Amino acid sequence: MTPIDPVALTADLVRCPSITPAEGGALVLLEAVLTKAGFTCTRVDRGGIANLFARWGRQGANRTFGFNGHTDVVPLGDENAWTMPPFGAEIKDGYLYGRGATDMKSGVAAFAAAAVDFVTETPPDGAVILAITGDEEADALDGTTALLDWMKANNEAMSVCLVGEPTSPNEMGEAMKIGRRGSMTAFFTVTGVQGHSAYPHRAKNPMPAMARLMDVLSSHELDQGTDHFDPSSLQVLTIDTGNPATNVTPAQTRATVNIRFNDQHSGASLTAWMQEEADKVAADFGVRVEMRVKISGESFVTPPGDLSDLIASAVEAETGRKPELSTSGGTSDARFVKDHCPVVEFGLVGKTMHQVDERVAVEHVHQLKAIYTHILREYFA
């Protein structure tokens, strides 16, 4: 079988207009490629989201290496600002342009190409699984979680997993991620009594209460960091009152905060702390404070060990760089995989992801396939 060109496969995937939650033909294309190579493929669609599970080898094998990634992409933004067609996959000056070129159709193409070539050339004593979702860039409710739920129900399992998200800030091979911070957002509503600003004793202005609460939350030191994480941070995102009048104190005001937290905290512990502070402010100012919380993911870390050593060794062998063990950045689907098996992330340079004229260095896509192939060879050696 002719080796798969990961750049050509990336281009084919970029030409699929899979703006989340649209499948756009990307998973149909991958299923055809993988089926031809002997993978058993199953569509695991849920909630209108397309997902693909593919396994080469025996179900229940003692050693199963898994890859996870996504083919959905973020919207284009101002399409007129693009200098290259966003779904054209055109190559210029050594870069392949298009939405998803970096995040992360090139990563999916690289691990699919590596997996196909590996099992074709040197069939391993074990199994290789590819779990590919179409719902990473949106709410992620029916993407990787649907795949993992289906795997559990059907006795499918990965021994370890590599998520192919972009991980390097500037140079190929700079960093791999062994964990991620948790992320949560809290929405506050403070309700008082509207009144004339000249007669404050007849009203209960919610604004001072909200200002106090936001100050208390944002000035509090959550921690000083841990062995693997920077200090947690709480950011006030908005305070909205919408009061155009100059002589009326409002009845209600709203605010939103976002917390990125390390493994000293959980979503539940931070929720309890914010609720306690909100209750204090409500009592001090005689207003009502309501809070709604959305937890996008808990903090986690895969302790350095066999999996991270394997990946770091392969990266150094192919790039000459020993990757930093990082936990920076936002959330990824690794936050779901970590409940299934040990998980590490490694992928391309992410400088242009989500930007206009998103692009990937052609050289890096070939290099990434070589790294993934190296990892598979060493894992099954």
Tell me, yes or no, if 72 is annotated catalytic. Answer: yes
How would you classify residue 161: left for phi > 0, otherwise alpha for psi between -120 and 50, otherwise beta? beta
Sign of the dihedral defined by the CA atoms of residues 312, 331, 267, 162, in that order? negative
**In 3D, which of 37, 70, 113 has the Cα closest to residue 373?**
113
What SS3 state is found at 97? Answer: strand
The Cβ-side half-sphere exposure at 242, using a 13 Å CA radius, reads 5
* DSSP letter string, 220-281: S------SS-PPPEEEEEEEE-----SSEE-SEEEEEEEEEE-TT--HHHHHHHHHHHHHHH
Cα 377 to Cα 375: distance, rounded to the nearest angstrom: 6
C-beta of residue 339 within 8 angstroms of C-beta of residue 145: no
* Residue 40, beta-bridge partner list: 55
Tell me, yes or no, if 215 is annotated catalytic. Answer: no
Task: Determine which helix (DSSP H) or strand (DSSP E) holds 308, and give its type and residue range.
Answer: helix 306-319
User: Which residue of the set 31, 72, 103, 165 is catalytic?
Assistant: 72
* DSSP letter string, 23-44: -TTHHHHHHHHHHHTT-EEEE-
Task: Determine which helix (DSSP H) or strand (DSSP E) holds 6, and give its type and residue range.
Answer: helix 6-14
Amino acid 91 reads I
Cα distances from 238 to residues 180, 234, 264, 303, 329, in angstroms, run: 25, 12, 26, 36, 21
User: Which residue of the set 136, 156, 318, 358 is catalytic?
Assistant: 136
Task: Find all residues with CB under 8 Å of 221, minimum gap 6, and list them.
Answer: 231
Query: Which residue do the tokens 């908005």 mark?
Result: 238
- How buried is 282 (Cβ within 10 angstroms: 0-12 exposed, 13-18 middle, 19+ buried)? middle
Q: Which residues are catalytic?
A: 72, 136
